[in-house]
């Protein structure tokens, strides 16, 4: 997606912070009226999330501690695009295994989104994964917050009610379950293939390895 109605020239840019996951910079941006304003930008590698739907209509969810908000959240399995050159679909398959111990035979793009476009370029692709099977790998060991992560299955319509009641608050999970409910009502027609173009992260589109 693009909007060429205005060209916002970056007059100067200064890096403020370099972290393990994201960087922060301040851009001086020329506005349409000629004025210049500072805009702080969080540079993020992007992420993938998976709405994994089983044959009974349940969505696979994970409950994970999130330090920034100080408590556990119910979320979709998800992860950063932090492996150089790894296609997004490969990352999604890896995260579904690592967080939920599952593989899926059928994949499609459910939605693409910017989580917080007012301050960050973080882009996330949410996949729909179906035809699930359990998989194990004794060599994989979770670490950090994932050690205490739990896996749950909830009916899709129950998750929609939770979102509307303010009980499901993770942005990606809310968007994913509402999109899935809409797509299900339409018979899953119109979903894009798993390797569909992704303008926000064009370098991450390609066949899964």
Choose among 108, 154, 167, 105: nearest CA to 132.
105
24 touches 41 (CB < 8 A): yes
The answer to whether the beta carbons of residues 43 and 25 sit under 8 Å apart is yes
In angstroms, how far is CA 108 from the centroid of its own chain? 14
CA atoms in the 13 A half-sphere facing the CB of 193: 7
* Active-site amino acid positions: 146
H runs (alpha helix) in 53-207: 88-100, 156-164, 171-185
Would you state the torsion angle of the CA atoms of residues 52, 132, 143, 61, taken in this order, to the nearest 10 degrees? 30
């Amino acid at each position: 997606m693009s909007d060429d109605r205005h060209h916002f020239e970056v007059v100067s840019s200064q890096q403020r912070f370099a972290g393990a996951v994201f960087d922060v910079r301040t851009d001086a941006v020329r506005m349409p009226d000629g004025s210049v304003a500072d805009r702080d930008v969080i540079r993020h590698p992007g992420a993938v999330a998976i709405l994994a739907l089983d044959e009974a209509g349940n969505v696979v969810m994970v409950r994970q501690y999130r330090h920034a908000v100080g408590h556990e959240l119910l979320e979709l399995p998800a992860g950063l695009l932090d492996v150089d050159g790894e296609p997004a679909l490969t990352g999604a398959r890896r995260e579904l295994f690592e967080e939920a111990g599952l593989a899926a035979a059928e994949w499609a793009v459910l939605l693409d989104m910017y989580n917080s476009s007012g301050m960050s370029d973080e882009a996330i692709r949410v996949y729909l994964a179906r035809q699930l099977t359990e998989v194990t790998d004794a060599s994989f060991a979770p670490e950090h917050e994932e050690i205490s992560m739990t896996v749950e299955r909830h009916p899709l319509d129950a998750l929609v009610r939770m979102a509307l009641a303010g009980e499901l608050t993770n942005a990606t999970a809310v968007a994913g379950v509402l999109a899935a409910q809409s797509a299900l009502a339409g018979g899953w027609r119109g979903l894009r293939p798993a390797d569909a173009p992704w303008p926000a992260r064009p370098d991450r589109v390609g066949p899964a390895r």
